[in-house]
Amino acid sequence: MKKQTKNWTTSDIPQRNKGLAVITGSTEGIGYEDALALSSAGWNVIIMGRNALKGAATIAEILEINPKAKVSFEKIDLADLSSIKAFASRMIERGEPIDLLINNAGVMTPPNRLETADGFELQFGTNHIGHFALTAQLLSLLRKAQDARVVTVSSIANRNGQINFDDLQSTSSYVPGKSYSQAKIANLMFALELQRRSEKHGWGITSIASHPGVSRTNLLINGAGKWSIPGIMRRFFPFLFQPQSQGALPTLFAATSPEAKGGLYYGPNKMSETRGFPTIAKIPEQANDSEVAKKLWEVSQKLAKVTF
C-alpha cells in the first residue's frame, strides 16, 4: 500500500460529474483545500462554518479559481448541538444522499478551559462530540448513497491521547495539550468504531481516518493564540510546517482514492508522519482498544443525545 500511495496528489483524484460532499470547517485551512480539490474534480461541495460572510468569501475564491465549481455554504456551529441538529434537519428535508462527509473542523489548545453551548470542554465537545452528533444525524443520508465515505480528521497529537472517563470534560484539571490529545484520539477511535459498526449492521458506509501531519494553517493561532509558543513557531518559523495544500492530501486520498480502505488511517509518509505524501499511518496502541472504543461510543451517544 505504501508503494501505491507514494507521491499521490490532487491530480490523482478521480473526476466525476455528481456526488455530494459535506465538509466541516471548510472556510479555511485543510477544509478549504479539501473543498477546492473536490469541487475541481466535479463534486458538489457544501462548505460549512460558523461565519456566513467568511463562507461567501470562500465560495468566491473557489469560483475565481474554478468558475464551474459547484459549491454552497451552510452555517453550523459544532460547539452547539442545536446548530448541528438544525443543519441535519435542513439536509434531511433536502433529501439528497450524502456521498462523502469529512469531519475536519477543529479547535486546538485554547490556553484556558472553555465550554461549548452544551457545557462540554470546548476541544472534546467540538472535535469529537460535535462530529459524532453530526455523523449520527446524517446517517440516513449517508446510507442512501452508494458507497458513502466518512473521513474523520485526527492529529499526530493523538499519540499521547488517553480517554479519561473520570474527567472527560477536563473539569478537575485542564491542560490544553492533554485535552486536545484526548479529543484527537477520540476522533480516531470514532472512525475505527464506525467502520466496525457499519460492517456489523450493514450500513454500507466506509469510515476512514486521516491526519495532516504538521501543516501551516491558522489552527494554532486561532486556538493557542498567536503569542503562544506554537503560535510563535507557526508565525516566525513557517519553514517547519508543510503547506496546508500538502497537509490536505491524506484526507483527500482517504476521501477519493479507490485504494483507500475502511478502518485504516492515513497521514504523510516522511519525518515521522509530519510531512510528505499520503500513506498508511500508524495507529497508536490505545486507539485499537475496542472495549474503550465501545464505551466511548455509548457515552458519546448519551452526551450528544443521538443514536446510530
Residues catalogued as catalytic: 180
Residue type for position 57 = A
Distance CA 72, CA 183 (A): 29
- CA 290, 169, 24 angle in degrees (round to 5)? 75
302-306 contact pairs (CB < 8 A, 24+):
303/120, 303/129, 304/81, 304/129, 304/132, 304/133, 304/136, 305/81, 305/133, 306/132, 306/133, 306/136, 306/137
DSSP per-residue codes, 182-207: HHHHHHHHHHHHHHHHHHHHT--EEE
- Angle 249-256/29-40 helices, nearest 10 degrees? 40
